[in-house]
Structure 1
Amino acid sequence: MTAITTRKLGRTGPTTSALGLGAMGMSDLYGPADEAESIATIHAALDAGITLIDTGDFYGMGHNELLIHQALRGRDRESVQLSVKFGAQRGPDGAWIGYDASPAATKTALAYTLKRLGTEYIDVYRPARLDPNVPIEETVGAIAEMVKAGYVRHIGLSEVGAATLRRAAAVHPISDLQIEYSLLSRTLEAEVLPTARELGIAVTAYGVLSRGLLSGHWSADRAMAGTDFRGHSPRFQGENLTHNLSLVEALRAIAQAKGATVAQVAIAWVAAQGEDIVPLVGARRRERLTEALGSLRVQLDAADLAAIEAAVPAGAAAGERYAAAQMASLDSEQSAPGAH
């Protein structure tokens, strides 16, 4: 197996594995998951050299953090970087009922997260979205107090635009911006990514396989569980899906020529966009993790990158990455032209 190299999360952040594990799907939003297989997958990731695990306190209403706590029992805490998002409010039925990143809510959420994860500190703590009712300076200021107190080591952000990045970084160093980045989601390239680089902020890229669309395993007739958010995602509907799957087939031809899978090339493409980018893979099963780890062996030269660009040019995807109401709430998309 290819050894996993490391990358640094920005000028001030931690050094992590060059590939991270996103644990959301083990608890929520992609339909039922197998808990034993989820834990086995986390163990396999750690054993392979992945050190960055990303979660959110609202993934399964705390279930994801409890799952990670269970998986990390007996492991060296200092060898793992835990990245946690907070702020989304949910009801007992799982309904999304608002957002709160006020200073008091920030500290309360952190207290519960520390307890569920069974740890004394979080490596990177971040609001999952910009709270429209709370200045980013107040949210970052509250986390900065928690850094000073030793409960948090680094501050991250998620899905914010360039102006918000600047305002946040003026309050406290920001290690990384977590944002969707894939061959099908490239709006950050216009303004957000250059600003992050100017400020010395890394990118932890989620959705590198565009929610499974770029996995090479998706089919037009695939049935989805009622709890699978992709059933409402514009990119997975009707003619949009047909078009997007044609892009996948164009990518498949390039992958086959490289002796790789579609997923491996898609992940390798994100990693090739800069040493300051760490792809997060949302593998829920060991076989998918193994495939994702294979992306580390895929070397893309200039000719490969040009062929990929020709097959899946920027803005080629049909449909937005979220439904209209969610897109409107994304600070990262408000000044970004083009396809999402």
Structure 2
Amino acid sequence: MNQQDAVLDVQGLNVDIDTPRGVLHAVRNVSFQVRRGETLCLVGESGCGKSMTSLSLMGLLPRQARRSSRKLSFMGEDLSTAKKGRINALRGDKMAMIFQEPMTALNPAYTIGEQLTEHYIHHRRASAAQARARAIELLDKVGIASAGQRLGQYPHQLSGGLRQRVMIAMALMCGPELLIADEPSTALDVTIQAQILRLLADLQQELGIAMVLITHDLGVVARIADRVAIMYAGEIMEEGPVEHIFARPRHPYTQGLLSCIPVPGHTPHGGKLGTIPGVVPSLIGDLQGCAFRERCAYAEPSCARTVPIHGTAEGQSWRCIRNGAEVTA
């Protein structure tokens, strides 16, 4: 990818958190890019660093966390050196985020209308009437009927699916260039989840937004992603176009994740799904070599040392001592 085409360019991102037991390396040397109109899915088990990565991009890390990077560029602007005031100006305007649980992200003491219009008035210096018209327009766009009446309601008066649609509308109020969605459908039932994902895909295509979607669901990835980055223990183990990752996963961890998913027409009825033995290693203290080596069937002594990164002409890359051709699913 041409770096000049990237809306978001992240190189060597690290997030360290001080704990009573030592420094926890939540995100380790993470690099990726996202272009306009492209969806990148960050995938991995709970605790792998997906949400910490997204929060670091938005400047919303907890106080005890420290962010560092070789490069953190948004629309050509260096976020790593930007002042707090500049980050506040970008956040909610050109960079927006949809949080995982709308009932905790929305303020129960304010109406939907007050929460939708507040940052639009702030960022666009708009009047209350202009902000209200924009809010109604966006609620209509995300499929909420009687939008004008909804503005006077409180979050607890809406269903989970409607609250999530409100969160999407709120994120789109100022017309962002980058949208980060942190597991936006996890708390919803399957039917509503499908509707929300379809809505996000349609809105992104219509508006040309660059989107980073955080999820642990590979089924979601298959439906919505252009590119996918597989995270494990704070690192990206494999990254590339979604069709290549699913057709020929190169890293043993990616293969293990895909083997856990039933495939219609291939997985026998009542047959056993794949599993990944062992547990995720502690991320506290000094970390060397491949973090997956204790759970990997291909592990060798050299895995405890620096692990090379391989790549293909199609843009697929993976972090492993094996070049991928030797690894079979």
Task: Give the structure-2-normalised TM-score.
Answer: 0.37
Structure number with the higher helix fraction is 1
Structure number with the higher strand fraction is 2
Task: Give the structure-1-normalised TM-score.
Answer: 0.36
